[in-house]
Amino acid sequence: MDVEAMGREAQKYVWEGAIPLQIHLHESEVTTLPHPSPALVLAPRMGYLPLLLPLLKPHFSSTLPPGVDTIWFEYKGLPLKWHIPTGVLFDLLCAEQERPWNLTVHFRGYPGNILTPCEGEDSVKWSFINSLKEAAYIVNGNCKNVMNMSQSDQVELWHSVLNGNMETYQRVSSKLKLEKVGDQYVGKPNSNLLKSRTNTGETDTGGPVKTDKCFTLRDAVKALLPELFVEKTLIDEEIPRIELEEESRAPSDDESNTRNEEDVEEKQGENVECCCPSDDAETKLKLVRIQGIEPKLEIPFSWVVNNLMNPEHFLHICVFVKVPQAKPLPHDR
Amino acid sequence: MDISSWDGTLSSSDFCLAAHAFTEKWKRINPVLPPWSWVPRPKSPWLASHEEDHDEKSHKGNEEPNCLGKDEYIDNATLVQSYRQDVRYFDFHIVYSASYRVPVLYFRTYSSDGQPLLLEDIEKELPGNSTNVLMESKWTFITQEEHPYLNRPWYKLHPCGTSEWMKLLFLTDPSLGGSQGVPVELYLSSWISMVGQAVGLKVPLEMFNKRKE
């Protein structure tokens, strides 16, 4: 199977991906006995938790106290950010990928000091379009294409996301002219790569770079989180980091090739027994998870971006990091 | 760089320059008003570090004007003054957006007991220049989103139109640079003169004095 076909397979896999959820109503909102059983729901990876309201409301409505519904979710006490795709939340918060994923739902008592307000599907749609605009701005230097989408296109696009319809999504989103990322290469720090800022539409396979070294997923994570990769042999291997200004963004401004935005989310991993010396920083990076997969870090980054990004044109990379265990402090009295 | 080919945006190092210039000027001109302060982005939370190694890639300024007492010379109609007895507190943060390459204004408002206040309550008391072109929703609208570093909901003035109107501002005001290129040090004063109006943040006129001192 050629690389293109593998890419399409990957996209299909991702679009059809779903997380089995076991959703429990918070006990403060249970007014009947016996307690309602948890709802079992398959939530699309590319979707968002508040969109599950139509599925959940009927299941719990008979037991809810009177009042207005403002749905929110929590996992082990952590209120979940509703504007983050379900799959990303799962990849990030559930290291062991428990299936079904046990969540608690609330219909009351929205924590407005912690979560931004969500008024149902419209809020989620707005957040999605807003992210898409941001991606468009980074890729094209303006959000015109998104802002000028016809009403019917916008509706169709949003519905394709709601329903997990990849073909429709790809058809409508192609009008936005958000170019796929071309193959990227890494040169020496003083290569033309740093100086040029290509226009939209140019792929950069014919770029000015002299070496064959492909820009891999590892290179990308390294660029975003350099502190995890402090290596002894910096001179030969170092990516041109000087131009990479933002830690939490892909080198989209500076490397002439990157087109899509990255959103790195980090979580503390547990300390792991390791036979490597503790100052070997390579071991700090425990895991990289994208769309539920742990891709080999050697994969060309352009492939990862083009095939594993979310519909709002952001690639979400979940990184698990080892932290040193805190030493118990001596008591002082 | 020539203004006519400028796209209205700012690199993060230019933002750094602009922010320092702005902070200095503000302190110099308004010693009475609460100052802006430069806060480096917090380091990755999981790494224990002993160095004072600040990441200077993106920053924020912080102001907490108290709307009673200190600000007697501020026009009633602009900075919020309440008919009621309670004091309104505003926190303003200017955060650099790497995506839009412009500064973004984040703010929150709360009463003296720490109770967060709603935008609707403030909007009634904002100045009556809603006819101001800036207030057109095409260029400026207020949303509630997560503060990029504080992980809490703050109000935000959406940045997607900023580069356009900044460019327009610099093109139409001959005292702003002109043939010498984009005067980065004036970027923030000019920017805040526009966005400040949307949120009732009064910017003293002396801030727009273009003479370099």
Of the candidates A116, A143, A245, the beta carbon closest to that of B57 is on: A245
Calculate how close chain B gets to A245, using CA atoms only, in Å: 6
pLDDT at A333 over 60: no
Please tell me the predicted confidence (pLDDT) of residue A132.
Answer: 95
Q: Which residues of B touch A279 (CB under 8 A)?
A: none
Q: What mean pLDDT is reported for chain A?
A: 78
Calculate how close chain A gets to B9, using CA atoms only, in Å: 10
pLDDT at A237 over 60: no
Is-contact B198 B173, C-beta < 8 A? no
User: Which residue in A272, A239, A270, A243 sits closest to A256, CA to CA?
Assistant: A243
Least confident interval from A101-105, A154-158, A277-281, B201-205: A277-281
What's the order of all strands across the beta sheet hosting A72-75? A39-44, A18-25, A101-106, A72-75, A78-79
Is-contact A85 A162, C-beta < 8 A? no
Q: What mean pLDDT is reported for chain B?
A: 67
Give me the mean pLDDT over the B168-195 stretch.
77
Please tell me the predicted confidence (pLDDT) of residue A279.
Answer: 46
Least confident interval from A33-42, A71-80, A113-122, B29-38: B29-38
Q: Which residues of B touch A114 (CB under 8 A)?
A: 152-153
Secondary structure E strands in chain A = 18-25, 39-44, 72-75, 78-79, 101-106, 261-268, 285-289, 314-321
Indicate yes or no: CB of A266 within 8 angstroms of CB of B116.
no
Interface with chain B: mutation pick from A115, A253, A259, A315, highest number of B CBs within 10 Å: A253
pLDDT at A301 over 50: yes
Indicate yes or no: CB of A261 within 8 angstroms of CB of B99.
yes
B114 lies within 8 A of chain A by CB: no
For A28, other C-beta atoms within 10 Å of its C-beta total 10
Calculate how close chain A gets to B88, using CA atoms only, in Å: 18
Give me the mean pLDDT over the A281-292 stretch.
80
Per residue in A181-201, pLDDT tens?
777 766 544 333 333 333 333
B205 lies within 8 A of chain A by CB: no
Confidence grade of residue A312 (pLDDT, cut at 50, 70, 90)? very high
B16 is catalytic: no
Q: Which residues of B touch A245 (CB under 8 A)?
A: 11-13, 57, 98
Backbone angles phi, psi at A264, to 5 degrees: -95, 130
Confidence grade of residue B164 (pLDDT, cut at 50, 70, 90)? confident
Give me the mean pLDDT over the A140-157 stretch.
92
Confidence grade of residue B127 (pLDDT, cut at 50, 70, 90)? low
Which residue do the tokens 């504080």 mark?
B150
Per residue in A6-49, pLDDT tens?
889 999 999 999 999 999 999 999 988 888 999 999 999 999 99
Please tell me the predicted confidence (pLDDT) of residue B180.
Answer: 62
Indicate yes or no: CB of B57 within 8 angstroms of CB of A246.
yes
B144 lies within 8 A of chain A by CB: yes
pLDDT at B103 over 80: yes
Of the candidates A116, A137, A247, the beta carbon closest to that of B160 is on: A137
| Three-state DSSP state, B188 | helix
Least confident interval from A125-139, A288-302, A317-331, B113-127: B113-127
Calculate how close chain A gets to B57, using CA atoms only, in Å: 6
- Which one-letter DSSP state was computed for residue B166? H
Q: Which of B3, B68, B150, B160 is catalytic?
A: B160
Of the candidates B99, B116, B143, the beta carbon closest to that of A134 is on: B99
Indicate yes or no: CB of B57 within 8 angstroms of CB of A247.
yes
Q: Name the residue with higher pLDDT: B85 or A1.
A: A1
User: Which residue in A29, A20, A28, A75 sits closest to A52, CA to CA?
Assistant: A20
| Three-state DSSP state, B103 | strand
Indicate yes or no: CB of A143 within 8 angstroms of CB of B55.
no
Q: Which residues of A touch B155 (CB under 8 A)?
A: none
Of the candidates B100, B143, B153, the beta carbon closest to that of A115 is on: B153
pLDDT at B72 over 50: no
Please tell me the predicted confidence (pLDDT) of residue A298.
Answer: 93
Calculate how close chain A gets to B30, using CA atoms only, in Å: 33
Q: Which two tokens stand for residue A79?
A: 């209120």
User: Which residue in A118, A103, A32 sits closest to A73, CA to CA?
Assistant: A103
| Three-state DSSP state, A163 | coil
pLDDT at A292 over 70: yes
pLDDT at A2 over 80: yes
H helix runs in A105-150, sequence order: 121-140, 144-147
Please tell me the predicted confidence (pLDDT) of residue B37.
Answer: 76
ipTM value, please give it.
0.74
Q: Which residues of A touch B57 (CB under 8 A)?
A: 245-247
Q: Which residues of A touch B5 (CB under 8 A)?
A: none
Indicate yes or no: CB of B57 within 8 angstroms of CB of A112.
no
| Burial of A251 per CB tally in 10 Å (0-12, 13-18, 19+) | buried
Per residue in A88-140, pLDDT tens?
999 999 999 999 999 999 999 999 989 999 999 999 999 999 999 999 999 98
